[in-house]
Structure formats: structure tokens, C-alpha cells
Amino acid sequence: MTIAPATDTLQVGDTVGLRATVRDASGDAVSGPVAWGSEDPAVAAVATTGDQTARLTAVAAGQTTIVATYGGTSALARMVVLAATAPALQQLASGLSAPLYAVAPPGDSARLFIVEQTGRIRVMRHDTLLATPFLDLTGQVRTASEGGLLSLAFHPAYAQNGQFFVDFVGTDSTIHVTRYHVSATDANVADPSSAQTILSVPHKEYTNHYGGLVMFGPDGYLYVGIGDGGSEGDSVGNGQNTASLLGKILRLDVDGGTPYAIPPTNPFVGQPPALPEIWAYGLRNPWRFSFDPETGDLYIADVGQNAWEEVDVHPGGAAAGQNYGWNVMEGTHCYSPPTGCATAGLTLPVFEYAHGGSGITGCAVIGGYVYRGARFPLLAGRYLFADLCSGWVRSFTLQNGAASDLVDYTPRFGVHANITSLGRDGRGELYVTTLDGFLYRIVPH
């Protein structure tokens, strides 16, 4: 009789599957239930999952022996549990020009691409910042207020087609989504002559609320976040107006047409005057959003007006066309009108925090990611996010449609004013960028 694995080293909070194999004197497998036990369940607890299988949960640092018994025969497995590794911030770069985003091509574990607001995309290869920018759009972007080069998305088939997409505010004050190709001769440099405008959204009146994120979803479509047009209060009602692209998340098929096609499952296809590009609406400034690669859930951090910041979640596989409430509501609170607003048909946030008072406070939510990397098992499934002004990073888990088990990392990370984004590399590990030029990686302490 044997147990697999016969030995293992875990961190507190890890789980591992165990399997017993029972053989008779002839070496043939024998079926039947096995009894499981742990010599020290305070270190690691074991629970039966099948006739000859079990799941071990690491509880506390120490060592224990797992015993599987069948009839009068037993087998042993030795387990070592280490204390959980706490996350910390490691500075990777300084002196960047207002870094706003960090991302890697699919499957690329060697490089990280850093978006600078002033118009350049920098390449960090094996933690070394390359001198030559990947792309330089400094003469084409308007950086006033919340403008500039705002994000970058690599095509899911980037390794094959070399396509990537950028979102920037042009000198004409228009939001542009543009496709480029990597150079045919240098993988660390783009071909600037390959530019193809995919989408242009006029945004001339104000210099804030551009949205700014482009990201491919698990469905292979390109999602584009667009703010409500700027100023305060969305006085013209763009967020609730499905005949406007402002205050929305759009979904485009950049492979199905020139410059794009409309995915047939977009919610407003064939419903004019609603625009078929729209995938979700009722948003004020969806600066950063992300998909959980395991569940397909979409987390949207929508920057609030003067009182409330919010995180919305669209469950993977749920119907599109959700209305997240702005400017009828700010968070879970009536905004226009300030009392007695109609909430029927609105999708309310799973988490909110205030600009003042007791408890968690801040001024602008900075969306992050559900952690699915390998370095921190205890972070698995937790959504990490930040605040621009308060400089904290926190996380929560989503349970039954609500945020729970909130964790504050300030004791480990410190306070970093002007956090602009969380980033994610090709391994699923996370990064933090700040407006004053720093790039940090979340690492084991």
C-alpha cells in the first residue's frame, strides 16, 4: 500500500490531493474504502474525498505524518508545512515618465511592457529596462489632465500575428484605439508605420474621464473602457444614453472586419438608436477593469464623483447589457436625483468605499486583478485593487455576489501616493505603478 505524494512541502493555506493505492500479494489493485488520518491535525488536516482519495489542508507551520489504513495495512506520507509567505513590494524601476500600466504578451515570461502617460511604451526584459522604447507616440498624444497614452493590449495570438492595440488621447482631444504590429526584425520594437485606427471617440469638451483601458476578454474580443465625457455629474446623461459611446464598455471583434466587426451577441445589435458596440453602460470612468482567467468574471473599478468609489462584477457567462447605474447612482447611493431614485434594472456594485468618514476612504479606485499566479497560494482568487490618493492596496474575495474578507496590505506595502494601476505579467504575477515614476513588483517577503 502506498500514498501519493509520499512527501510534500506546503505553505499554510495550501491544499493537496492524496491518493492511496492498495495491492494484493499478486500486485493487483484492490478496491475499497481507505481510512485517513493525520498524526497532528493542528498542522495538516485530512478529509476523505473518495474510496481511496483525500484532500490535505495545511493549517499551521510544522510537520505531520498522514496515515492511510486498509484492513490491517497502513501507508505513511510525510508532510512539511511552512508559514505562509507574506507579500511585499520590490522596486524594479524609477524615473519612468508617469507610468500608467504594465502588461505582458500572452505566454511571455521574460518581458514586461510599461505604458508611460507621455507617450512611450518601455520594455523591461529580465528586470532590466531597455533604453529603446517599444513605441514612441510622444508627438501624437495630449497629456493634459487625464489624457496621454493610457493602455496597451496584446492580441491573444500576438506570438503569431504580432498585433497589439493602444488607447490614447490624441492632440485633437479624441480618444483613439489604434492597432500596430511588432517590427519584423526586432521583437523589442514596434513598427510605427503599421498604425491602423480602429476606433475614434470625440471627447473635446473636457480633459478628464477618458476611461482608457483596452483589454482582450476570454472570448477573444477587444473590450474598451470609455469615460462619461468629463466634468462633473455627467450633466448631459451620457452614462445612461445608449446612443452615445461615452460612459460605456465596448466590445469589438478586431479580427472579423475592417477596422472591426460587431460581435453578434452584443446586447444592442439591431436596436437603434442604441449603438451596437456597447457591451455595458451606466459607467462614470472605468479606468481599469480585468477578467478573472479562471472564472471569466469581469471586475470593473468605476471611479466615483465626490462621495463613493465602486467595484462592479459581471459574472462570467452572464448576459451582457448591464446598466451599472451612473449617473442615477453613485455606488449604492442615489445621485441624480439625490433621493428617491429608480433602481429597477440597475446592477449595483459588490463593493464601495467613501471619500471621507470612518472606515476605508480614498478618492479614486484603481482596479486590479484577481490573483491567479503561483507565488502566493493564499492570494489565489483574491481581487487586489488600490486607491489613487490614499495610496493603499487591498483585496477581497467574491462570495455569493458580495465582497468579503477584506485585507489591507499597508503594513507590508506601505503607502504609495498616486498609484495609477496594477499590472500583470505573463506568469500572472502582479505589479504596481505610480505617477511619480516607480514600478514595483509584489514579491514574497
8 A C-beta contact, residue 151 and residue 214 = yes
Q: What confidence tier does 278 reach under pLDDT thresholds 50, 70, 90?
A: very high
Lookup: cell for 129: 529596462
Q: What is the pLDDT of residues 161-174, one digit of tens each?
A: 999 999 999 999 89
Q: What average pLDDT does the chain have?
A: 95
Q: What mean pLDDT comes out for the span 123-148?
A: 96
Q: Of 32, 67, 82, which one is at a domain's C-terminal end?
A: 82
Residues 224 and 341 occupy one common structural domain: yes
Taking 80 as the threshold, does the pLDDT of residue 51 lie above it? yes
Question: CA 310 to CA 327: how far, in whole Å?
Answer: 13
Q: What confidence tier does 203 reach under pLDDT thresholds 50, 70, 90?
A: confident
Taking 90 as the threshold, does the pLDDT of residue 85 lie above it? no
Taking 80 as the threshold, does the pLDDT of residue 84 lie above it? no
* Residue written as grid cell 489542508: 57
Prior bond to 337 cis, omega within 30?
Answer: yes
410 CB neighbour count, 10 Å cutoff: 13
Look up the CATH number of the domain holding residue 395.
2.120.10.30
Q: What mean pLDDT comes out for the span 333-343?
A: 96
Residues 227 and 295 occupy one common structural domain: yes
Q: How many helices, marked H, and strands, marked E, lie in the chain?
A: 2, 35
Length, in residues, of the chain: 445
* Residue written as grid cell 491567479: 372
Residues 330 and 257 occupy one common structural domain: yes
Whole-number percent of the chain with pLDDT over 90: 87
Q: What confidence tier does 204 reach under pLDDT thresholds 50, 70, 90?
A: confident
Residues 395 and 293 occupy one common structural domain: yes
Single out the residue of 166, 164, 170 nearest to residue 148, CA to CA. Answer: 170
Whole-number percent of the chain with pLDDT over 70: 100
Q: What confidence tier does 434 reach under pLDDT thresholds 50, 70, 90?
A: very high
Residues 18 and 162 occupy one common structural domain: no
Residues 270 and 333 occupy one common structural domain: yes
Residues 352 and 223 occupy one common structural domain: yes
Taking 90 as the threshold, does the pLDDT of residue 239 lie above it? yes
- Number of domains composing the chain: 2
| pLDDT on residue 15 | 85
Q: Higher-confidence residue: 14 or 66?
A: 66
244 CB neighbour count, 10 Å cutoff: 21
Q: Which residues of 257-280 are buried (b: 16+ CB within 10 A; e: fewer)?
A: eeebebbeebbbeeeeebbbbbbb
